[in-house]
Structure 1
Amino acid sequence: MTIKNTKLDALRAEIDRLDAELLSVLEKRIAIVEDIAAAKKVDGKALAFRPGREASILRKILEVHSSKLPDTVIAAIWRELIAAVGWMQKPYSVSITAPDKSVGYWDLARFHFGSATPMKLHQLPSVVLREVYENPSTLGVLPWLTRERDTWWTHLAQGGENVPKILAALPFLDNPSGEFEDLNSLVIGQAEPEPSGDDVTLMALATSDEVSRARLNENLVKAGLSGYCADSRSPDSGDSDWLHLIEMPEFVAETDPRLVKLGEISGESFIKVVILGAYAVPIK
């Protein structure tokens, strides 16, 4: 004879009720996203990837959640949802550069862009850059913080309407399991970066002559910009320019008057400054 566990049955019934409630709320959220997508088509502004807003949403979610689930699990749930509904508004694909540790870079991108987003893997950054240049619906994921190989940013320094911008940094949330092997990447695409409330801006400063990092950092301070020179690249040929990578711990727009002041302070060797993009500071 089996004794019926009424308490257990009641708890399971409550779980079933909550599952149905979650599904109902999810469907309502998706319906709102469809209305947003329709509105964007009307005004001609259809942005499928909004990394600044996505970062802001995820920060708020992780700040208020109080369950025993790890932050990485909560983040994974919302990343999957955000990526899926973004793709519903306007489909896009992701091209990944993985010179080595390809599985790690693939997992890094898949965690952020969800299970349904089409992705491709390439060994050379040049291939990813070309795909992003040619297709505005393609996002590129390129390795970062490997200074000797991070030369791809120089291709963005030319500026221009269709030149991709840096939009996000991966991983946005550290994974304590070590799943991503301390890999770091930046996401580029044909879109304008947007502030999230806690950001890093990257820009390229072009000069006709070699300028020391100490002098560059001094000029940044004089212009009122908080940042530093992270890298400098010498000209490939005699008629090329020196390019200096500047990292700034704030969101800086292309119209920021401090950039004009920086050019004035830099003197005759100054050629131009190009905002390469910005990314939301990852959660530690």
Structure 2
Amino acid sequence: MTKINKKLEELRAKVDGLDAELLNVLEQRIAIVNDIAEAKKDDHSALAFRPGREAQVLRKILKTHSSELADEVVASIWREIISAVCRMQKPMSVAITAPEKSVGYWDLARTHFGSATPMSLHKSPTVVLREVSADPSRLAVMPWMNVEKDTWWEHLAQGGEDVPKILAALPFVQNPSGAFEDLNALVIGQAEPEASGDDITLFVIVTQDEVSRARLNETLVKAGLEGHCLDSRSPAIEEGDWLHLFQVADFVTASDERLAKCAELLGDSVIKTVVLGAYAVPMGSDD
């Protein structure tokens, strides 16, 4: 019994030593983050949120870690650290739209943005869109399961300086133990999307006239874009415009020549093209 207790004491001492090392390394990381914040003091952006960079970090960590910890546990540890240091640099809060399954959407947001990030829950997407449009330091989590029912993206299709853009997709790492593991959401905010190396872009082409889904998809191919039309919305009024929502497997910006090619191929009916944003493809996604 004495030998067993001695062995346990030795192992626990090693664990205590490793805990001290972990804390020391964490404090070093925080110190570097403070130096980064100082180096970025002339950066006038409202958010320190870097979804493309964060996706790159998590992909690398999950690819290289070899412990018996599940990927979602490792990802959760890094998400807590990343979110905390983002808030150290600049304030950040999250508004969540959850017309149903509110617990599931809350868990998605909390897992991604950490246990200490200020969050609020709302049933109405209109309320959330208003909040995130008025406050550059606020992000929003919007449901993204049934495109035909989701209408909030039409607000983003207006374009403009203060109109939020799509920045990330949740969950980035699927947690099979989640009660609502079938839920998906998009994060929007007043920031510019950034490439992660494996991305999905959403954009809208606004036309005066109706255009068939087949022609829209053919246009994408001819323009050199890999994707498809997710939805076409008829005008709410007789004199209104058509909105065509596209998803492509690439990081595409408003200046991309392929978007101009799409407009050219569709002809004079095109009023404008609006990039809604982009997100890093989640780990294990089949997109």
What is the TM-score of this pair, normalised by structure 1?
0.97
Counterpart of 1:29 in structure 2 is: 29
Q: Which stretch of structure 1 is more off in the superposition, 171-180 or 231-240?
A: 171-180
Contact 2:47 2:91 in 1 (8 A): no
Aligned partners of 2:59 and 2:258: how far apart in 1? 29
C-alpha distance in 1 between matches for 2:45 and 2:206? 32
How far is the alpha carbon of 1:160 from its aligned partner?
Answer: 1.1
Which residue of the partner structure matches residue 127 of structure 2? 127
Q: What is the root-mean-square deviation of aligned Cα atoms in Å?
A: 1.4
SS of match in other structure, 1:91: coil
**CA shift at 1:181, angstroms?**
3.4
Structure-to-structure mapping, 1:146-185, within 5 angstroms: 146-185=146-185
Amino acid at match of 2:63: E
Counterpart check, 1:219 vs 2:223: no
Partner of 1:18: 18
- Partner of residue 269, structure 1: 269
Maintained 8 Å contact 1:217/1:229: yes
Amino acid at match of 1:197: G
Taking the aligned partners of 2:30 and 2:158, their CA distance within structure 1 comes to: 39
Question: After superposition, what is the alpha-carbon deviation per residue over 1:20-79, rounded to whole angstroms, capped at 9, x for unaligned?
Answer: 000000001001111111221234346311111101100000000000011011011011
Is contact 2:209–2:242 with CA below 8 Å preserved after alignment? yes
After TM superposition, the structure 1 stretch with the greater mean CA deviation from structure 2, 4-13 or 132-141, is: 4-13
Change (3 A) 1:235 1:248: same
CA distance in 1, matches of 2:45, 2:100: 37
Question: Do 2:47 and 2:92's aligned partners in 1 also have CA atoms closer than 8 Å?
Answer: no
- Structure 1 alignment gaps of length 5 or more: none
Question: How much has 1:241 moved relative to structure 2?
Answer: 0.7
Figure out how many residues of one structure are paired with residues of the other and give that number: 284
Instruction: Report deviation, 1:179.
Output: 3.2
Equivalents in 2 of 1:44, 1:96: separation in Å?
Answer: 25
Which amino acid in structure 1 is aligned with residue 39 of structure 2? A
Aligned equivalents of 1:43, 1:174: Cα separation in 2: 33
Shift of residue 2, structure 1, vs aligned partner: 5.7
| Alpha-carbon distance in structure 2 between the residues aligned to 1:87 and 1:109 | 15
Tell me the TM-score normalized by structure 2.
0.96
Q: Provide, for residues 136-155 of structure 1, a one-character-per-residue CA deviation record: whole Å limited to 9, x for no partner.
A: 01101010021232111011
CA distance in 1, matches of 2:58, 2:179: 20
Q: Aligned partners of 1:65 and 1:172: how far apart in 2? A: 17
Residue 144 of structure 2 is aligned to residue 141 of structure 1? no
Question: In 1, Cα distance between the equivalents of 2:246 and 2:202?
Answer: 6
Runs (5+) with no aligned partner, structure 2: none
Residue 204 (structure 1) aligns with: 204
Q: Which residue of 2 aligns with 1:230?
A: 230
Q: 1:168 to 1:43 in 2, by over 3 A?
A: closer
Equivalent position amino acid for 2:68 in 1: K
Amino acid at match of 1:215: R
Q: In 1, distance between residues paired with 2:58 and 2:87?
A: 18
Contact 2:80–2:113 (8 Å) recurs in 1 = yes
Moved more, 48-57 or 146-155: 146-155
Equivalent AA in structure 2 for residue 49 of structure 1: F
The residue that corresponds to 1:112 in the other structure is 112
Distance 2:194 2:180 in 1: 26
Measure, in 1, the Cα distance between the counterparts of 2:4 and 2:250. Answer: 61
Q: CA deviation at 1:126?
A: 0.5
Residues in 1 aligned to 2:120 and 2:278: alpha-carbon distance in whole angstroms: 24
Paired amino acid for 1:22 = L
In structure 2, do the counterparts of structure 1 residues 3 and 69 end up closer, same or farther at CA, with 3 Å as the change threshold? Answer: closer
**SS at 1:273 equivalent:** strand
- How many percent identity over aligned positions? 69
Secondary structure of 1:115 counterpart: coil
For the structure 1 residues 267 and 10, does the alpha-carbon distance in structure 2 shift closer, same or farther, using more than 3 Å as the test? same
State the alpha-carbon separation in 2 of the partners of residues 217 and 87 from structure 1.
41
Q: Distance in 1 between matches of 2:102 and 2:256?
A: 38
